[in-house]
Amino acid sequence: MERALVTGGAGFIGSHLVRELLARGVTVRVLDNLSSGREENLQGLRGKVDFHQGDIRNAVACRNACQGVDIVFHLAAMVSVPQSVADPVQADAINIGGTLNMLLAARDQKVRRFIFSSSSAVYGDTDVLPTPETVLPLPASPYGVQKLTGEHYARNFTRLYGLETISLRYFNVFGPRQNPDSAYAAVIPKFLSRLVAGQSPIVFGDGEQTRDFLAVQDVVAANLLAAGTDNPLAIGEVFNIAGGQRISLNQLLVVMRDLTGRDIPAEYHPPRPGDILHSGADITRARTLLGFNPSLPLREGLRVALEYYAEQHRAGA
């Protein structure tokens, strides 16, 4: 792997992936329209990254970004379930139309491999826990529908055109540089940033819903394993990428209160449309075919994230 394109490379996960690729001596190009990604996420990388400010809904931008690269890591997306519920048309244009643009560009520019960032949202609410990839996906949100469509397109491009694709179904990713300020922010940055600020965390539902959290470092590792595998059984396939353990939001808050030293009660609000109750992954397939093994325990990952949000709070104080 000598030349890589990271779409959404100025975003939360993408910026971590970009830094690790550079550390491994890979030549990196980034395509990002900075709608949710931030230039400060790539701070210190000016001159080291070939940055293209462009939108995956623009086929020309996609084609130009794919020129001369060996591998594409496609992370650019509208990543919020609630936002996809509020605006399914725009979410569709980005998550399906944009992904198809990228696949076409990768095919036409002779890219060797395409790693698609999918989501556990494809499963919806399922009674099969932990959930293997063989469970029938029944998405409960437009976002889940869109990610599932992206997986099918990726598989099509492998079988019809010979583009090597691998789809990674991320569960609940967290870590430094995850934005807590959006109305659609993920739960861990929201909880940590509010506790650090001395405010009550806001829980949608009763807090007994469960999630399978994974530190961003392990998501980066999964992408690199997918990029580097020579196992033919992995090509054109999908893999759960998760920590492999479930925890309720109420239990998560107990750990966070302990780490922050702030015993602040949560505010409980009604559940949001499209949110699922329980989510947990069977990661046997990723372990077996990709060699994926999560390395950062939840508590340690939370401690690393807490340091980041505490520093952000001090900087803004």
Catalytic machinery residues: 143
Place of tokens 């002779």: 110
Q: Cα-Cα-Cα-Cα dihedral of 191, 192, 194, 195, to 10°?
A: 110
Phi, psi (deg, nearest 5) at residue 71: -145, 140
Rounded Cα–Cα distance for residues 179 and 143 (Å):
19
Rounded Cα–Cα distance for residues 257 and 212 (Å):
19
Q: CB under 8 Å to 73, separation ≥6 — which residues?
A: 4, 5, 6, 7, 14, 17, 115, 117, 223, 227
Residue 57's identity, in one-letter code, is R
In this structure, the number of other CB atoms found within 10 A of the CB of residue 259 comes to 16
Token code pair at residue 187? 């739960």
Residue 152's identity, in one-letter code, is H
Q: What is the DSSP string of 192-223?
A: HHHHHTT-PPEEESSS--EE-EEEHHHHHHHH
Ramachandran class of 124: left when φ > 0, alpha when ψ lies in -120 to 50, beta otherwise? left
